[in-house]
Amino acid sequence: MADTVKGAKGVKAAKAPGATGVAEPKAAKPFPKKQLQHFEKRLLDERRRVVKELGHHGETFGPNGEAADGDSGAYSFHMADQGTDAMEREKAFLFASQEGRFLWHIDQALRRLYKHPETFGRCHQCGDMIAFERLDALPHARYCIACKQREEDAKKG
Ligand SMILES: [Zn+2]
């Protein structure tokens, strides 16, 4: 009944380096910086295209409307850090149109890319890395092809 060890050298709230509460499968290797920069460029390209179609944001990236090479600091991301209220309002506004929804998803992807580059490209469903080819074609994709397929199948019934 001697309860000696408890508390003495107890585990200090499991603070392994890198373990931020997210289960990270070992197989899921983050994309190298070069590829992340490629996705960033793809997202910014798509974003510019949609913003043009929407015509209401009028944002430019850098002096000539071009993002500086590999410099994400040049990117003005006005609604990223204004808190949830502003985000929700923006969302409600954007979701009124299909282009707006697309823009929202692109912004979400950019946010993920900037804030958590180490997990960008990871499937939100199964945690595997999404194939480069898929992200190249669809840089805001959140699901790997297998999970997406499953979702589509489920929809069809
Ligand atoms: Zn998946």
User: Measured in angstroms, how far is the CA atom of residue 41 from the centroid of ligand 1?
Assistant: 24
* CATH code of domain 33-55+77-156: 1.20.120.910
pLDDT value for 49: 93
pLDDT value for 26: 55
Return the C-alpha torsion angle 86, 88, 89, 94, nearest 10.
Answer: 120
- Give the start-to-end residue ranges of the domains of the chain: 33-55+77-156
User: Measured in angstroms, how far is the CA atom of residue 134 from the centroid of ligand 1?
Assistant: 12
Enumerate residues with CB within 5 Å of ligand 1 (an ion): 123, 125-126, 144, 147
Q: Which residues touch 9 (CB under 8 Å, ≥6 apart)?
A: none
pLDDT value for 76: 43
DSSP label at 44?
Answer: H
Q: Angle at CA 128, nearest 5°, toward 105 and 29?
A: 100
Query: 55 and 157 in contact (C-beta within 8 Å)?
Result: no
Helix axes 33-54, 98-115, angle to 10 degrees: 150
Chain position carrying tokens 């469903």: 125
Report the C-alpha gap between 72 and 43 in whole angstroms: 12
User: Measured in angstroms, how far is the CA atom of residue 28 from the centroid of ligand 1?
Assistant: 11
User: Measured in angstroms, how far is the CA atom of residue 146 from the centroid of ligand 1?
Assistant: 6
pLDDT in tens, the chain (157 residues): 555 445 444 444 444 444 445 555 556 789 999 999 999 999 999 999 998 888 754 444 434 444 434 433 334 455 455 567 887 887 888 888 888 999 999 999 999 999 999 999 999 999 999 999 999 999 999 999 999 999 999 988 7
pLDDT value for 23: 54
Residue 68, helix vs strand vs coil: coil
pLDDT value for 69: 41
pLDDT value for 28: 76
Taking the CB of residue 102, how many other CB atoms lie within 10 A of it? 18
pLDDT value for 17: 47
Backbone angles phi, psi at 122, to 5 degrees: -90, 135
User: Measured in angstroms, how far is the CA atom of residue 122 from the centroid of ligand 1?
Assistant: 8
